[in-house]
Structure 1
Amino acid sequence: MNLADTLHRTATEHGLRTAVELSGSSLTYAELDTASGRVAALLTGRGVDPGDRVGVMLPNGLDFPVLYYGILRAGAVVVPMNPLLKPREIAHYLRDSGAVLLFAHEMCAAEAESGAEGTAATVLPLSASTLTELLAEHPEPAAPQPRAEDDTAVLLYTSGTTGSPKGAELTHANLSRNADICARSLFRLTPEDVILGCLPLFHAFGQTCAMNAAVAAGARLTLMARFDPAEALRTVHDRGVTVFAGVPTMYAALLTARTAQPVAYDTATLRMCVSGGASLPVEVLHGFEKAFDAAVLEGFGMSETSPVACFNHLDRPRKAGSVGTPIEGVELRLIDVHDGVGELCVRGHNIMKGYLGRPEATAEALRDGWLRTGDLARVDEDGYYYIVDRKKDLIIRGGFNVYPREVEEVLYEHPAVAEAAVVGLPHPTLGEEVAAAVAPRPGSDVTADELREFVRERVAPYKYPREIRLVEALPKGATGKILKREIDFGDA
Structure 2
Amino acid sequence: MNSTDSPDLNVIDPLLTLAAEDPDAPALRGPRNEERIELSRRDLIAGATAATARFSEAGLVHGDRIVLVSPTCPEFLLEFFGAQAHGLTVVAANPLSTARELEYFINDSGARLILSHPGCADASEAAAASTGITSRTIETLTPGSAAALPDGELSPVRRAGDETAALLYTSGTTGTPKGAMLTVDNLLTVGRVGGQISGATSSDRFGTALPLFHVFGLASVSILALSAGASITLLPRFHAETLFDTLIEDELTVVAGVPTMWNALLQVESDRKPTSLRLALSGGASIAVPIMRKFKERFDATIAEGYGLTETTAFGTFNPWNGRIVPGSVGLEVPSLDVRVKSLEGEPVPDNEVGEICIRGDLVMKGYWNNTSATEAAFDAEGFFRTGDLGYRDDDGYVYIVDRMKEMIIHGGYNVYPREVEEVLYEHPDVLEAAVIGAPDDYYGQNVTAIITPMPGTTPTAEAVEAFCRESLAAYKIPRIIRFVDALPKGPTGKIRKLDIEVPAASGSSDGSPTKRTRTHP
Q: TM-score range by the shorter chain?
A: over 0.9
Whether the 8 Å contact between 2:46 and 2:151 is mirrored in structure 1 is no
Q: Measure how far apart 1:140 and its partner are.
A: 4.8
Distance (Å, rounded) in 2 between the aligned partners of 1:292 and 1:488: 35
Q: Does 1:272 align with 2:279?
A: yes
1:186 corresponds in structure 2 to 197
2:510 corresponds in structure 1 to none
Q: Measure how far apart 1:17 and its partner are.
A: 0.9
Q: Measure how far apart 1:455 and its partner are.
A: 1.4
Which one of 63, 66, 78 corresponds to residue 78 of structure 2? 66
1:224 corresponds in structure 2 to 235
Q: Deviations over 1:61-111 (max 9, x none)?
A: 121110000011100001111101112211111111111111112222111
Distance (Å, rounded) in 2 between the aligned partners of 1:166 and 1:467: 35
Whether the 8 Å contact between 2:202 and 2:230 is mirrored in structure 1 is yes
Q: Deviations over 1:247-277 (max 9, x none)?
A: 11111111111xxx1x322311001111111
1:256 corresponds in structure 2 to 267
Q: Measure how far apart 1:317 and its partner are.
A: 1.4
Which one of 50, 56, 68 corresponds to residue 38 of structure 1? 50
Q: Measure how far apart 1:115 and its partner are.
A: 2.6
2:333 corresponds in structure 1 to 326
Which one of 191, 204, 211 corresponds to residue 200 of structure 1? 211
Distance (Å, rounded) in 1 between the aligned partners of 2:441 and 2:110: 43
Distance (Å, rounded) in 2 between the aligned partners of 1:113 and 1:342: 46
Distance (Å, rounded) in 2 between the aligned partners of 1:96 and 1:141: 35
Which one of 92, 97, 100 corresponds to residue 104 of structure 2? 92
- Choose 68-77 or 188-197, whichever is displaced more: 188-197
Distance (Å, rounded) in 1 between the aligned partners of 2:424 and 2:379: 35
Matched residues, percent identical? 41
Distance (Å, rounded) in 2 between the aligned partners of 1:283 and 1:408: 11
Whether the 8 Å contact between 2:10 and 2:184 is mirrored in structure 1 is yes
Gap runs ≥5 in structure 2: 1-8, 344-348, 507-522
Which one of 18, 23, 28 corresponds to residue 15 of structure 1? 23
1:460 corresponds in structure 2 to 474
Correspondence 1:20-419 to 2 at 5 A: 20-23=28-31, 24-126=36-138, 128=140, 140=152, 142-183=154-195, 185-257=196-268, 261=269, 263-336=270-343, 337=349, 340-367=353-380, 368-419=382-433
User: Higher strand fraction: Structure 1 or Structure 2?
Assistant: 1
Whether the 8 Å contact between 1:99 and 1:120 is mirrored in structure 2 is no
Aligned amino acid, residue 295 of structure 1: T
Q: Deviations over 1:386-429 (max 9, x none)?
A: 00001111111121111000000010010010100001112223
Distance (Å, rounded) in 1 between the aligned partners of 2:49 and 2:138: 18
Q: Deviations over 1:291-323 (max 9, x none)?
A: 111111111101000111111112321111001
Whether the 8 Å contact between 2:71 and 2:95 is mirrored in structure 1 is yes
SS in 2 for 1:465: coil
SS in 1 for 2:281: strand
Aligned amino acid, residue 268 of structure 1: T
Q: Measure how far apart 1:209 and its partner are.
A: 2.3
Which one of 450, 461, 464 corresponds to residue 447 of structure 1? 461
Aligned amino acid, residue 485 of structure 1: L
Distance (Å, rounded) in 1 between the aligned partners of 2:86 and 2:449: 50
Gap runs ≥5 in structure 1: none
Whether the 8 Å contact between 1:156 and 1:303 is mirrored in structure 2 is yes
Q: Measure how far apart 1:28 and its partner are.
A: 0.7
Aligned amino acid, residue 116 of structure 2: A
Alpha-carbon spacing, 1:127–1:428, altered in 2? closer, same or farther (3 Å) = farther
Runs of 4+ deviating beyond 6 Å: 135-139
Aligned amino acid, residue 347 of structure 1: R
Q: Measure how far apart 1:165 and its partner are.
A: 1.0
Whether the 8 Å contact between 1:95 and 1:120 is mirrored in structure 2 is no
Distance (Å, rounded) in 2 between the aligned partners of 1:476 and 1:137: 38
Distance (Å, rounded) in 1 between the aligned partners of 2:308 and 2:219: 11
Q: Measure how far apart 1:431 and its partner are.
A: 1.9
- Choose 334-343 or 299-308, whichever is displaced more: 334-343
Alpha-carbon spacing, 1:122–1:139, altered in 2? closer, same or farther (3 Å) = farther
Give RMSD over aligned pairs. 2.0
Q: Measure how far apart 1:137 and its partner are.
A: 11
